[in-house]
Amino acid sequence: MREALNQAMREEMERDASVFIMGEEVGHYNGAYKVTQGLLQRFSERRVVDAPIAEMGFAGIGVGAAMVGLRPIIEFMTFNFSLVAIDQIINNAAKIFQMSGGQYHIPIVFRGPSGPAVQVGSQHSQALESFYAHVPGLKVVMPSTAYDAKGLLKTAIRDDNPVVFMEGETLYGMTWDVPEDEYTIPLGVGDVKREGQHVTLVAWSRMVHVCLEAAKVLAREEIECEVVDPRTLRPLDHAIINESVKKTGRCVIVEVGWPVAGFGAEVAYRVQRDCLDYLDAPIERVCSDDVPMPYAKNLEDEVQPQVKDVVAAVRRALYLD
């Protein structure tokens, strides 16, 4: 995935001279996760800008640059650090188009790793997508594969609105086939990652892969799960989720975020609103435990949704337990 993201930025920077990157260690260090590797050498310090540890400052510089016609890509070393810049993201980037009466577009991408990694502690393990999906004026993208990551990032860079692009921290080293030809993926269009007929699993980012593994386990019991990946949370592809739920009659929503006010609750509300007459069982949610992330590896694993948790939720939805 890191190479697909790198290709997307390289191609867009070659296509459009107004695109530039700014963030901590994006240049000489090639990015904390090596996503920006080689871009400084290709495009110079004028377009790959190493910023100090001052997220509020360089996020604000990005918003100002977008106001005057540039297309910044602002990388946070982790989206946990975006909390330092949240005033710029929510009160400026998301609001200026409306507050200026449409005089200023803000074509900016805030991107970086999101969600838990491995033993990085409670302050660096948070899934914050529900924070940003809550805000009108922002678009929120969470790819689960390298193919999706490249196509969605290229679209996000070309978008005239602010996009929060959250990359699963543990997905960077996973590999998929990515075509060499030019392609983009529109925002707001989901994807069925696995066809099935008995239950719909809705998940995004890393949880898609947990669901796919759970689907393999359940297939041994002749339970066929359909795995739906919305790919973008805002705008959300209601239609692809509804179509699947109407086919299967059951829905399990899986997210690595906390349960209270998590984005899965919004998905559940919309499913029951639109598909109530088709549901044969209550909607199930699988989330992380409602606690700060522990550091100990065994506790860290226990807190997050695992394959066994998804399997158990599916069995409940099918009234097998």
Q: How far apart are CA 247 and CA 250, in angstroms?
A: 9
Which one of 124, 213, 224, 266 is the catalytic residue? 124
Q: Single out the residue of 174, 206, 208 nearest to residue 2, CA to CA.
A: 174
Q: Is 173 exposed, middle or buried (0-12, 13-18, 19+ CB in 10 A)?
A: exposed
Q: Single out the residue of 201, 207, 204, 281 nearest to residue 241, CA to CA.
A: 201
Q: How big, in percent rounded to 5, are the helix, strand and coil portions of the chain?
A: 40, 15, 45
DSSP β-bridge partners for residue 86: none
Which one of 12, 55, 284, 300 is the catalytic residue? 55
| HSE (side-chain half, CA atoms, 13 Å) at 245 | 29
Residues 6+ away with beta carbon under 8 Å from 289: 302, 303
- Beta strands per DSSP E along 18-137: 19-23, 48-50, 71-75, 109-114
Q: Report residue 213 as tokens.
A: 């593994």
105 is catalytic: no
Q: How far apart are CA 100 and CA 96, in angstroms?
A: 6
124 is catalytic: yes
Cα–Cα distances in angstroms (integers) from residue 175 to residues 146, 150, 172, in the given order: 7, 13, 8
State residue 197 phi and psi, 5-degree precision: -130, -10
> Any idea what the Cα angle at residue 22 is, between residues 16 and 23, rounded to 5°?
150
Helix, strand, or coil (residue 116): coil
> So which residues are the catalytic ones?
55, 124
